[in-house]
Amino acid sequence: MLEHFYRDVFTELARVTKPSGVWYVFCDGQSYPAFYVSAYPHVKALRPLIWDKVVSFNGYTWRHQHEIIMFAELPEAKPIPTGDGDILRNRAVPVNDREHLAEKPVDLLTQLVKKCGRVILDPFAGSGSTGKAALKEGKDFIGCEIDERYYRLAQSGLEGIEPSTPSNKACTRQGQVAPQFDNFE
Ligand SMILES: C[S@@+](CC[C@H](N)C(=O)[O-])C[C@H]1O[C@@H](n2cnc3c(N)ncnc32)[C@H](O)[C@@H]1O
The Cβ of residue 29 has, within 10 Å, a number of other Cβ atoms equal to 11
Q: What is the mean pLDDT of residues 171-184?
A: 56
Give me the percent of the chain exceeding a pLDDT of 90.
77
Q: What is the pTM of this model?
A: 0.90
Nearest C-alpha to atom 19 of ligand 1 is from which residue? 146
Of 14-18, 127-131, 158-162, 166-170, least confident by mean pLDDT is 166-170
Residues of the chain with CATH 3.40.50.150: 1-92, 94-185
3-state class (DSSP) for residue 95: helix
Nearest C-alpha to atom 20 of ligand 1 is from which residue? 146
Q: What is the mean pLDDT of residues 51-75?
A: 92
Which CATH class, in words, describes the domain spanning 94-185?
A: alpha beta
Whether residue 2 has pLDDT greater than 70: yes
Which segments of the chain does DSSP mark as H helices, in order? 3-16, 32-39, 106-113, 129-136, 148-158, 166-169
C-alpha distance across the termini of the chain, in Å: 30
What's the 166 CA to ligand 1 centre distance in angstroms? 31
- Pocket of ligand 1 from Cβ distances under 6 Å: 100, 102-104, 124, 126-127, 129-130, 144-147, 150, 181
Q: Out of 2, 109, 124, give the residue to mutate to test ligand 1, the one with the largest number of ligand atoms within 8 Å of its CB.
A: 124
Q: Which fold has domain 1-92?
A: Rossmann fold (3.40.50)
Question: Could you tell me the pLDDT band of residue 170, with boundaries at 50, 70 and 90?
Answer: very low
User: Which pLDDT score is estimated for 91?
Assistant: 98
Please say whether the beta carbons of 109 and 127 come within 8 A. no
Give me the percent of the chain exceeding a pLDDT of 70.
91
